Amino acid sequence: MKKFPTHNKKLTDWVNKMARLCKPDDIVWIDGSEEQKKQLEIEAISAQELILLNQEKLPGCVLHRTALDDVARTEHLTYICTKKKRDAGPNNNWMSPAAAYKKAKAIFDKAMRGRTMYVIPFSMGPVGSPFSKIGVEITDSRYVVLNMMIMTRAGEAALRQLEKQDHFTKCLHSKAELDINKRLILHFPEDNTIWSVGSGYGGNALLGKKCLSLRIASFIARKERWLAEHMLIMGIEEPNGHIEYIAAAFPSACGKTNLAMLLPPEGLKVKGYRIWTVGDDIAWMRVDSDGTLWAVNPEAGFFGVAVGTNSQANPNMIETIKKNTIYTNVLLKKDGTVWWEGADGDVPEEGIDWRGEPWKKGILDAKGKPVSAAHPNSRFTTPIANSPTASFRIEQHHGVPISAIVFGGRRQHLAPLVYEAFNWQHGVFVGATMASERTAAQVGQLGEVRRDPMAMLPFCGYNMAYYFKHWLDMGKRMAKPPKIFHVNWFRMDESGKFLWPGFRENLRVLEWILDRCNNKVDAVRTPIGYLPHPSDIDLTGLDLPQGALEKLLQIRPKDWLEELKGVNKFFKEFKKCLPKELWDEYEKLSNRLKVNE
């Protein structure tokens, strides 16, 4: 066995112990160097885990295909393993730590025989920043190593930081047999440990992402009094060069990545706005000594959905993924480039689909349905630094100051385009009652409302009732808390047509949000919060049909009272643990609506 590049006892003891369990043939430590990365790529290509793409057109890009039943996060196999079940809450699957370790050990046992065990020291957040956390992932997947090298700061520098602080999150991963019946994604927040086995899919296997940066981090954040959130962070540069930052939470597949990289709309060009992307998925936020909220993105890459990404939806992403990108489950074209449904350009005549099968334009399956070229959850992994919008503050240890927090969901009829919460407590209620309607892309009843508070339902590593309380407490700690808003880009008219064009035009709404933060405009007080005066949303160059904006800003108290029934049911799941303040906000909203009915 090779010499370990560290004398840190905690780390070497743990790696040795995991090696005794998984029995790899070899152990390789990841130093984060370009040479090591190249070497791993060569090995992965010869083992057919990766396909080298056309290096002239897509330099540094490769393609990976997952197992057919390993294409998305498996929430039903994801557990929070706390000593007390109540600490995991009704929002999580729970297993006792003893039972979970026992069950998983049987799967990890000798799982790495004939394979190499990679040890990846990594930092979530800039190395050495007071915001950041160190983790070490052990894995037997080269694909995981190469992804972690993009998504995190992996290697030597993280290891030296670990030695200084002497604590880290222990992340153990093995593909094992990639068997869905032997797949478990286990979190042990009380042990600062994650065990994931039987999956090679990003959200299950890149343990720095959802597992550490959200589930484990949210648990730690409550103890250490900060926030780990499922939020994008973007900077909006005004013509005078001043940049304001916002953090925004939307459920998965509501356009966080597109918003974070937005290209200002043609109509507002004269105003000279520019967008800076700090992050598209996760925000860690702390109260600083100035009494305001500051945020970093713990990640260093994007793990974005490919299907639907094109020059109209996200031109900056199209630029970003032209180099040094790992594509997963997309179509391989004859010329060694890639394609997916909704990509730019013509539908290719033929290729190899995400399953590895020959594919032809118009090809139908046995039931007469089109065979998809790319999986609907196909992905690209790409460095943020590739993006033309990458913020110059990404590496800054202090992060960025947050002026506004924005919540959002997909609501056909209920929520207006935008509204502002009355204060922090009301804002927490707005976040806690967030919901989204199912689209055709998801299984289940179309239009069915799914509650997803702060977009954290699948990611909160403890009882959400305590999480709400933590949010309320955080507000009290800030001298100047950010204002809280709610947006809905998805409102429809009577004929089922979207009333708002979305995408680039969303900047018009962010402009109003910033005007509110800077006390530049007043607003209309309504039962649900402050709404814009229609004339305060700059529609220059936008051809919105007559009356559309008024419809977008309409509130129907009857619909909101109906909505409150769902909220009531949801809140009751948390029994006595739910903070009284949220029931107070519920009552106040209900009363305001009844007066206006």
Read off the tokens for 273: 């706005």
Read off the tokens for 454: 């702060």
Interacting partner of 198 out of ligand OXD, Mn ion, none (Cβ under 5 to 8 A depending on kind): none
CB of 67 to Mn ion, least distance (A): 22
CB of 123 to ligand OXD, least distance (A): 20
> Dihedral (C-alpha) 9, 13, 14, 20: value to the nearest 10 degrees?
160
Instruction: Assess contact for 150 and 206: CB atoms under 8 A.
Output: no
Q: To 10 degrees, what angle do helices 580-596 and 424-432 make?
A: 90
Buried b / exposed e across 571-580, counting CB within 10 Å, b at 16+? beebeeebbe
Residue of closest CB approach to ligand OXD: 252
Q: Which residues contact 395 (CB under 8 A, 6 or more apart)?
A: 126
Q: Which residues bind ligand OXD (CB under 6 A)?
A: 73, 203, 252, 281
Percent helix, strand, coil in the chain, to 5, is 35, 25, 45
Instruction: Please pick, among 22, 171, 254, 460, the residue that the annotation labels catalytic.
Output: 254
CB of 282 to ligand OXD, least distance (A): 8
Q: Specify the residue for token string 């935008």.
A: 418
d(CA 136, CA 119): 7
Instruction: Assess contact for 246 and 406: CB atoms under 8 A.
Output: yes
How many residues contact Mn ion, by CB under 5 A?
Answer: 1
Q: For Mn ion, which stretch binds (CB under 5 A), given 70-78, 170-178, 180-188, 277-285? A: 277-285
Query: Toward Mn ion, which CB reaches closer, 281 or 581?
Result: 281
Query: Toward ligand OXD, which CB reaches closer, 419 or 489?
Result: 489
d(CA 11, CA 194): 15
Interacting partner of 66 out of ligand OXD, Mn ion, none (Cβ under 5 to 8 A depending on kind): none
CB of 281 to Mn ion, least distance (A): 4
Query: Toward ligand OXD, which CB reaches closer, 29 or 302?
Result: 302
> What count of other Cβ atoms lies within 10 Å of the Cβ of residue 163?
15
CB of 231 to Mn ion, least distance (A): 9
Helix H, strand E, coil C: the string for 326-363 is EEECCEEECCCCEECCCCCCCCCCEEECCCCCEEECCC
Q: Specify the residue for token string 């720095």.
A: 208
Distance of CA 456 to the CA centre of its chain: 9
Taking the CA atoms of 22, 24, 26 and 30 in sequence, report the sign of the dihedral they define: negative
CB of 230 to Mn ion, least distance (A): 6
Query: Toward ligand OXD, which CB reaches closer, 284 or 424?
Result: 284
Query: Toward Mn ion, which CB reaches closer, 244 or 281?
Result: 281
Interacting partner of 203 out of ligand OXD, Mn ion, none (Cβ under 5 to 8 A depending on kind): ligand OXD
Instruction: Assess contact for 285 and 295: CB atoms under 8 A.
Output: yes
d(CA 537, CA 258): 21
Interacting partner of 279 out of Mn ion, ligand OXD, none (Cβ under 5 to 8 A depending on kind): none
Bridge partners, residue 228, by sequence = 284
Read off the tokens for 89: 């809450």
d(CA 401, CA 293): 6
Q: Which residues contact 158 (CB under 8 A, 6 or more apart)?
A: 32, 121, 122, 123, 127, 134, 152
Interacting partner of 70 out of ligand OXD, Mn ion, none (Cβ under 5 to 8 A depending on kind): none
Return left, alpha or beta for 89; rule: phi > 0 is left, psi -120 to 50 is alpha, else beta.
left
Interacting partner of 297 out of Mn ion, ligand OXD, none (Cβ under 5 to 8 A depending on kind): none
Interacting partner of 420 out of Mn ion, ligand OXD, none (Cβ under 5 to 8 A depending on kind): none
Query: Toward Mn ion, which CB reaches closer, 175 or 209?
Result: 209
Question: 454: which DSSP letter?
Answer: G
Q: For Mn ion, which stretch binds (CB under 5 A), given 177-185, 275-283, 332-340, 571-579? A: 275-283
Q: For Mn ion, which stretch binds (CB under 5 A), given 14-22, 211-219, 280-288, 541-549? A: 280-288
CB of 459 to Mn ion, least distance (A): 8
Query: Toward ligand OXD, which CB reaches closer, 194 or 552?
Result: 194
Read off the tokens for 233: 């962070």
Query: Toward Mn ion, which CB reaches closer, 251 or 481?
Result: 251
Bridge partners, residue 52, by sequence = 62
CB of 229 to Mn ion, least distance (A): 11
Interacting partner of 82 out of Mn ion, ligand OXD, none (Cβ under 5 to 8 A depending on kind): none
Query: Toward Mn ion, which CB reaches closer, 152 or 174?
Result: 152
> What count of other Cβ atoms lies within 10 Å of the Cβ of residue 269?
11
CB of 252 to Mn ion, least distance (A): 5
CB of 257 to ligand OXD, least distance (A): 8
> What count of other Cβ atoms lies within 10 Å of the Cβ of residue 557?
16
Q: Does 420 bind Mn ion (CB under 5 A)?
A: no
Among 281, 299, 420, 563, interactor with Mn ion by CB under 5 A:
281
Instruction: Assess contact for 574 and 453: CB atoms under 8 A.
Output: no
Asked if 254 is an active-site residue, the reply is yes
Q: What are the distances in angstroms from CA 445 to CA 267, 437, 459, 568? A: 38, 9, 23, 21
Query: Toward ligand OXD, which CB reaches closer, 281 or 563?
Result: 281
Q: Using CB under 5 A as the criterion, which residues of the chain lie in contact with Mn ion when the complex forms?
A: 281
Query: Catalytic residue numbers?
Result: 254
